[in-house]
């Protein structure tokens, strides 16, 4: 999977060029970052064993928050779970991932945590391209995880950080999310929540709403959005989120160009933009009123 040094320098040049040539098609490799500060309550959990690609990692655990005795849930309702944050570390690579506790089914809880960790660390071998993954000995990556929802129905985690390939002109912003059904361990994708075409149209509409965007950022995006078509964003959104999909060659894996999550009744989804605009914007879509 590793290329010659010439290939890695070429790849670095390609990433730098993406700022100017961004959206010839949605097949270009872009990445996004979202900021979310509403993390779920955390509590210390025992470190889990690293996957084969993370054997050399040092695992650390986030400090616990005070606990209060939960009230007995009504029949058929989801029960809140506890979430701790642990960190995979190797060289200049640091990736946080969630560890869930509080489930009655210990076996299912273990499977859930394995699934969450696998997706969180899949960035190491599939980004920016599974044909040439990042080099953990030379590249640098730092990803922070926030768990914004955790109950016996589903867990929603968002990841944002920066990736710097050795030799690249500048680091790029990286964003991904994971919404997992606790019972089935299936990943929820954006196309199951709303129509990708409708979401693409809204992302390019004059009344688009961008999460945490100031007036200057919103204006810059609106000035630029004429450079991308509805069809380009639609294709990105149709392929958003986990699970990872095979490329046309049937072997390599494609890292999604868009990720999404739900919070407070709204749907948030990232669309790629040039590096000068931050590599991503987060569109906020009200599924009730739209």
pLDDT of residue 200: 98
- Is residue 248 in some structural domain? yes
pLDDT of residue 36: 38
User: Is 199 contained in some domain?
Assistant: yes
Determine the structural domain holding residue 227 and report its residue range.
Answer: 190-286
- Establish if 229 belongs to a structural domain: yes
Q: What is the pLDDT of residue 196?
A: 98
pTM given for the model? 0.76
Q: Which pLDDT tens digit goes with each residue over 11-24?
A: 444 444 433 434 44
Q: Is residue 216 part of a domain?
A: yes
Q: Is the peptide bond before 57 cis (omega within 30 degrees of 0)?
A: no
Per the domain annotation, does 17 fall within a domain? no
Is position 243 within any domain?
yes
Mind listing the pLDDT tens digit for each residue in 34-83?
Answer: 333 333 334 333 344 344 343 334 444 444 444 444 455 566 689 999 99
pLDDT of residue 289: 77
Into how many domains does the chain fold? 1
Q: Are 128 and 134 in contact (CB under 8 A)?
A: yes
Tell me how far apart the alpha carbons of residues 249 and 25 are, in angstroms, rounded to a whole number: 18
Answer yes or no: is 84 within a domain. no
Query: In the prediction, which pLDDT does 63 show?
Result: 45
Residues (pLDDT < 70) of the chain are 1-76, 290
Is-contact 177 259, C-beta < 8 A? Answer: yes
């Amino acid at each position: 999977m590793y290329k010659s040094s010439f290939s890695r320098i070429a790849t670095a040049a390609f990433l730098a060029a993406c700022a100017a040539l961004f959206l010839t098609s949605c097949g270009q490799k872009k990445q996004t970052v979202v900021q979310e500060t509403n993390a779920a309550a955390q509590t210390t959990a025992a470190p889990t064993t690293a996957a084969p690609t993370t054997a050399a990692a040092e695992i650390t655990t986030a400090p616990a928050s005070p606990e209060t005795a939960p009230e007995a849930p009504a029949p058929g309702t989801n029960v809140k779970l506890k979430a701790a944050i642990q960190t995979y570390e190797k060289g200049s690579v640091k990736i946080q991932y969630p560890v869930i506790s509080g489930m009655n089914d210990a076996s299912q809880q273990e499977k859930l945590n394995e699934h969450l960790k696998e997706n969180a660390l899949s960035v190491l071998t599939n980004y920016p391209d599974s044909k040439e993954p990042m080099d953990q000995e030379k590249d640098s990556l730092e990803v922070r995880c926030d768990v914004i929802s955790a109950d016996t129905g589903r867990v929603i985690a968002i990841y944002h950080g920066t990736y710097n390939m050795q030799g690249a002109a500048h680091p790029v912003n990286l964003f991904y999310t994971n919404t997992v059904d606790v019972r089935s361990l299936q990943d929820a994708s954006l196309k199951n929540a709303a129509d990708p075409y409708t979401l693409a149209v809204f992302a390019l509409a004059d009344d688009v709403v961008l999460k945490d965007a100031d007036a200057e950022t919103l204006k810059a995006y609106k000035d630029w959005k004429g450079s991308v078509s509805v069809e380009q964003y639609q294709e990105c959104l149709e392929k958003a989120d986990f699970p990872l999909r095979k490329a046309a060659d049937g072997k390599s894996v494609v890292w999604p160009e868009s990720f999404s999550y739900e919070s407070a009744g709204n749907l948030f989804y990232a669309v790629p933009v040039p590096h000068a605009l931050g590599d991503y914007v987060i569109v906020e879509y009200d599924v009730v009123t739209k």
